[in-house]
Amino acid sequence: MTERIVRCGDVRLWSEALGDPAHPPLLLIAGGNQSSRAWPRDFVDRLTSHGLRVIRYDHRDTGRSTVRDFAAHPYTYTELTRDAVAVLDAHDIPAAHVVTMSMGTIMGQLLALDHPGRLLSLTLMLGGGLDVDFDGNIERLFKGEPSADGLPLPGPALLDAVELMSQPVDGAGAEIDRRVERSRIFSGGQVPFDADEFRRWEQDAADHAGTATEPTAHHMLPSHPRERAPELAQVRVPTQVVQALNDLIAPPPHGRHLAGLIPGARLVEIPGMGHALPGAVHAPLAEAITAHVLSPRPQGEQ
- Active site residues per annotation: 102, 247, 275
Q: 96 in helix, strand or coil?
A: strand
Contacts of 150 (CB under 8 A, 6+ apart): none
Over 180-211, what HEC string results? HHHHHHHHCCCCCCCHHHHHHHHHHHHHHHCC
Judge contact between 217 and 33, C-beta under 8 A: yes
Q: Which of 251, 258, 250 is nearest to 229 (CA)?
A: 258
- Calculate ∠ Cα 87-229-115, nearest 5°: 25
Q: Which of 218, 221, 279 is nearest to 67 (CA)?
A: 218
In whole angstroms, what is the distance from residue 9 CA to residue 294 CA? 34
Judge contact between 201 and 184, C-beta under 8 A: no
In whole angstroms, what is the distance from residue 85 CA to residue 59 CA? 12
Q: How far is CA 72 from CA 11, 63, 67, 217, in A?
A: 14, 19, 11, 11
* Residue 247 CB coordination number (10 Å): 26
In whole angstroms, what is the distance from residue 288 CA to residue 282 CA? 10
